[in-house]
Structure 1
């Protein structure tokens, strides 16, 4: 089900360190994916769900597919704001829309979408997102309780 554009925005703050940059002092493209991963993890944490707790409950989230577009470079010492908005909530997956912006001027640096599947810890087989977690995401994203059967 498609979420209505989320009313409650979320942004994770992070800083660009030397290790994040290439020889030209610009953030290496793959590091934007790391920044976005951290924002998704912090979004879960803000909702009251730690990844370590979920793993103990036979639940992992794995990236099924990703798409990223790069608009402008981030550089050493830039402070970034990384959003993580759920735009689709299915039976066993979430689709996130994410943006990385420079904090000082809100310039859009990178944006992407990530389909994240809910799987069992040991078998890595799809499993339904627990109702408590589904309700938490639905509350902040505007997504309803209806689900799809696909990942």
Structure 2
């Protein structure tokens, strides 16, 4: 199944010294930061930045589960593209497919499940109806994200 171009969000980043180990290879835990930043920018690009969600809806998203497949290493100074595609929007959680690529080469694939929580009490809660509908319309079933993104 082909993914609609607007269903995949792409965020560019670069590998800096602080992201690498002594050999100039990206430290494995740093990929989590790349993925998190791309998810934050994905929300912001849709007018629902995390601070806005907290302030207007008392809502935050927190990672509940993550599966990561490391394919190839990223290195110092590499220009990377980190993608986000929404696979499933449920009443109180999202499942997202993410990739990290360098010049089209797949370096990492991840599937991330985030839970919707109350910002004040960190208890699970439903995603507000207008936001739920907006997110639901972005669902795709193809986790490969073979498009260039939006």
TM norm structure 1: 0.86
Partner SS state of residue 34, structure 2:
helix
Match in the other structure for 1:95: 95
> Is contact 1:6–1:141 with CA below 8 Å preserved after alignment?
no
> Is contact 1:85–1:98 with CA below 8 Å preserved after alignment?
yes
Aligned partners of 2:119, 2:3: CA distance in 1, in Å? Answer: 29
Deviations 1:13-34 (A, max 9, x none): 0010000000110000111111
CA RMSD of aligned residues (A): 1.5
1:22-41 correspondence to structure 2 within 5 Å: 22-41=21-40
Match in the other structure for 1:108: 106
Match in the other structure for 2:135: 137
Partner SS state of residue 43, structure 1:
helix
Aligned partners of 2:74, 2:27: CA distance in 1, in Å? Answer: 9
Match in the other structure for 2:84: 84
Write out the 4+ residue segments of structure 1 that deviate beyond 6 Å after TM superposition: none
Gaps of 5+ in 2: 142-150
Aligned partners of 1:5, 1:50: CA distance in 2, in Å? Answer: 28
> Is contact 1:91–1:129 with CA below 8 Å preserved after alignment?
yes
- Identify, as 1 or 2, the structure richer in strand: 2
Match in the other structure for 2:145: none
Confirm whether residue 118 of structure 1 aligns to residue 116 of structure 2.
Answer: yes
Gaps of 5+ in 1: 144-151
User: Across the two proteins, how many residue pairs are aligned to each other?
Assistant: 138
Deviations 1:55-103 (A, max 9, x none): 112101000011111000111111110011110111100001100001x
1:47 Cα deviation after fit: 0.8
Instruction: Provide closer, same or farther for how the CA distance between residues 106 and 75 of structure 1 changes in structure 2, counting only shifts above 3 A.
Output: same
